[in-house]
Amino acid sequence: MSLANIKRYIVVTLLYIYSFLFIYTPDSYISINVIHLLAFFAYIAMSMLYLMGKKILFPMVLKKFFALNLLVLIIGLYISLQSYDFYYCYKLFIVAFETIPCLFLIYLILEKLGFDLKEKLSFIMNLGFLQLIFVIATIIFPELRLSIIENSQNQDLLKLSNFGDLAIRTFGFSRGYTFAMPMFLGLCIAVALYMKGHFNTKHWLSIPLFVIAIALNARIGLVILPLLLVLNFLYGSSRFRLGILVISISVLSIGLIASEANIFQYNDNSEFASFSRVYDSFDDLSNLANGKETGTFNDLGKMNILPSGYDLLTGTGKDIFFGGNSKYPGINSDIGYVNDIFFGGLLFSLLLTGVYCSCFFISTNDIKLKILNYSLILFLIIANYKGSILNSNEFINGYLLLTLFISETMTRKEKALR
């Protein structure tokens, strides 16, 4: 192996470590948010490039995302003066001034290495595969899983992860095990299908592993599957539509039959405990169809609360994720839209959602890219009802990286055709 190949191998390895930490921002064995350290490194790297006389040209999608998020941050700071609680703005600050530099550094290095779009998308898939390795490792070695959980900054993680003494979720090495991490794995499923259609790669064969890893952590990540099925049904060929319809009906029927037969009910010693929440989803959907809210739908129904009067439009300057809102004591909610409205009001919530959707939207006539684009935007919109997704997390970080790769490739092709 030549010296140049050795140097390339070292750079790629270090980039994978950096990118893994950027996407998943694991909070175990460290007392601060790792993205602070990654952003500090990114600023140093860009400063060195500038001092060396290198041109640093930010991609247009990052310029747009930074400008719009800076606007949101300025508005957020003004709103926070109502409560003098700036935690919400701290999250906005991370997106504008830490997430974007990290994204840019990853993009710069991949460009320097000469990665094309296929290789960049494979890079994202490999980050998903690395998480699958951690998921498998924490299943095989319970002591490793317990160590990761016990050394997490989230003091309630163990309580959320076990049913009695039985492990039912939180497998892998990340931060948002019960929300954003499974969503990123869902994004990998969408990318795998896009690569199958566009580059005829074999990444789609890994989809069952991604589905299992998602089911072991949080069901929200599985929402990508019906979205992809519906969009492929709408845009695919007649023969493909028939196949999609048969698969969908079969899966739904099996799930409902299992629900009615209580196949996966579990107790403290059941080996099905980790997968029982998938069964619960079918049970909850069946009950919802009969006009009864149970499980997650019942929990979200209780959290679906809004401020009153002018607060509905202007907000209170503080969300209610952790409770502690002095104007609305004793209430809390996981729902992203509810927290955005409590913080900044209805108009602020619409602005924030619009910023993300407009930055992620890719105008194209390519059917395969449309399906990828629409499925992930709908995924984001739906997920923000389950939890607060519009900030720096595994899904948003990965989605920004994906959008950056695709948008810049399209821009380069358009310039070449002029």
Domain boundaries along the sequence of the chain: 3-235+304-417
Count of Cβ atoms closer than 10 Å to residue 375 Cβ: 26
- DSSP states of 8-52: HHHHHHHHHHHHHHHHH---BS-SS-HHHHHHHHHHHHHHHHHHT
pLDDT score at 415: 76
Mean pLDDT of 319-331: 86
- Those residues with Cβ within 8 angstroms of residue 334's Cβ, 6 or more apart along the chain or in another chain: 300, 303, 321, 386, 387, 388
pLDDT in tens, 226-261: 999 889 888 876 666 666 666 566 655 655 555 455
Residue 163: predicted pLDDT: 76
Q: For residue 379, what are its two tokens?
A: 């995924």
Mean residue pLDDT of the chain comes to 88
**Greater pLDDT, 261 or 402:** 402
| Distance (Å, whole) CA 139 – CA 173 | 12
Give the gyration radius of the chain's Cα atoms: 22
At residue 59, what is the residue type?
Answer: P
- Whether the pTM exceeds 0.75: the reply is yes
Cα-Cα-Cα-Cα dihedral sign, residues 375, 381, 384, 385: negative
